[in-house]
Chains A and B, each alone.
Chain A
Amino acid sequence: MNVRATLGGAFAALAVLIIGWQAGTAASHPATATTASGSTGGSGTSGSAGSGTFAGSGSASGSGTSDSTTGSSSAGSGSGLKDGSYTGQSADTRFGAVQVAITVSGGSITDVQAVHLTDRDQRSVSISNRAAPVLRQEAIQAQSAQIQTVSGATYTSEGYITSLQSALDQAR
């Protein structure tokens, strides 16, 4: 198996997990606060972030062994996610073993890393700097004093007139 195919398989495996994990995350957001304050109680319990979503993805085949929390946790803001680093269960996929760690900062997921990932030949692959889901910031829409400028898909001269950038320019 050449390296490209191996990596491709690894990416595919991780993509499956992350997609499932995203779906799980989206679904569990409203419930996260309940989980954190209610059932788990202790500080930095990691199961809610990791194992629940793996189960939701449906791709884990049940080999999960480790379920650990690393780093310290502190109270998150608003979203119900506690700051800290969380490591999910190891999951066997047909592409190899995958374990995902997330970092929560300021109540938002700021990092997702495959901390242990092996291909079918049991070689490990590490992936970082991937995009992870973040929460929308609807609240900014009407109140954005500190926003200095606006980036978006290119607007035309006509489109500018109704753009937020135009409003910003006129406000100064």
Chain B
Amino acid sequence: MPTRVFTTMGTVVSLRTDEPLADVVVDWVRETFDRFDAQFSLYRDDSEISRLAAGDLRLGDTSDTFRRTYADALEWRSATSGLFTPHRPDGVIDLSGIVKAAAIADAGTILDTAVTGDWILNCGGDVLMRSSAPTAVGITDPHAPGRIATALTVAAPRRAVASSGSAERGEHIWGVATGIAQATVVADDIVMADVLATAIVAGGTELLDTLTMTHRIDALVIAPDGAISATPGIRLADPSFTTGVPEPADQK
């Protein structure tokens, strides 16, 4: 599959398609990510969210996109009993926990309309795809990110995979990890997958059990000791296949 790779939001986007992509489509996708970054990055002094944090802008004067995203984040805060939150401990609105997924979702909408065949969009380890066949997704080992701990297959209507690790402190997980080193959520929607993966790492097994009953998700979690658990909907990839990815030693 042709693969296009570009940097945005402090990470890397890999876009794989069945057929070669027109540059204009790649640019469109890239601009989508860049636009979210310019608007929501607290690392940029001139972003809308930074101006809000600095008091130069009032919430009522923010853009529709901003308020819609904030409202979505508040709903997810309610759905996760506050384990996912769009606020930093100091009260500053921080939407970094949802913006990447929102950008992926928007980019997916573009790809759904602009691309005819299958596509896989991976932004920093969060994945959205349109695939006509079950697709194998490797899950990184939280203790050795260059390796995978297992692999699962994703099939329609599921099309989004997001993982969150307890090492992501300072980003958007403020809770204390409770026996889950990494949570992977498979959902129909990338925002749901991303937010709930974040919440599960913070909320532990108890929240995982609740969320798998209340939301249309499948989940795979890896404990600090490396033990893997998965909900019944998770289909592990057949480990018997061969060839493809270079040996770890060849990854340099």
Chain A residues in the interface with B (C-beta under 8 A): 11, 15, 22, 26, 103, 108, 110-112, 127-137, 139-157, 159-160, 162-169, 171-172
Count A-B pairs with CB separation below 8 Å: 220
Q: Is the interface of A mostly helix, strand, loop or mixed?
A: mixed
Asked whether A22 lies within 8 Å of B209 as measured between CB atoms, the reply is: no
Q: How far is the CA of A160 from the CA of B125 in the complex (A)?
A: 9
Q: Which residues of B contact A132 (CB under 8 A)?
A: 229-232
Name the interface size band of chain B.
Answer: 35 or more
Asked whether A130 lies within 8 Å of B145 as measured between CB atoms, the reply is: no
CB of B49 closer than 8 Å to a CB of A: no
- 18 A–B contacts, CB within 8 A, in A order: A22-B227, A103-B232, A129-B233, A130-B231, A131-B231, A134-B220, A136-B149, A136-B228, A137-B150, A141-B147, A142-B245, A151-B161, A156-B10, A157-B10, A163-B140, A164-B245, A167-B245, A172-B1
Asked whether A164 lies within 8 Å of B229 as measured between CB atoms, the reply is: no
CB of B138 closer than 8 Å to a CB of A: yes
Beyond the given pairs A147-B137, A154-B11, A172-B1, 10 more chain A to chain B contacts, judged by CB atoms under 8 angstroms and listed by A's residue number, are A26-B227, A133-B228, A136-B226, A140-B150, A145-B244, A148-B129, A151-B125, A152-B145, A155-B125, A165-B122
Chain B residues in the interface with A (C-beta under 8 A): 1-3, 5, 7, 10-12, 14, 16, 100, 120, 122, 124-127, 129, 131, 135-140, 142, 145-151, 161-165, 167-168, 171, 182, 184, 205-206, 208-209, 212-213, 219-221, 226-234, 236-248, 250-251
B149, B212, B228: the one contacting A130 at CB < 8 Å is B212
Q: Which residue on chain A has the smallest CB distance to residue B167?
A: A153
Asked whether B137 lies within 8 Å of A154 as measured between CB atoms, the reply is: no
Q: How far is the CA of A110 from the CA of B2 in the complex (A)?
A: 35
Q: Which residues of B contact A110 (CB under 8 A)?
A: 232
Asked whether B229 lies within 8 Å of A131 as measured between CB atoms, the reply is: yes
Q: How far is the CA of A15 from the CA of B139 in the complex (A)?
A: 26
* Minimum Cβ distance to chain A for residue B244 (Å): 3
Q: Which residues of A contact B136 (CB under 8 A)?
A: 144, 146-148
Asked whether B221 lies within 8 Å of A151 as measured between CB atoms, the reply is: no
Q: Which residues of A contact B167 (CB under 8 A)?
A: 153
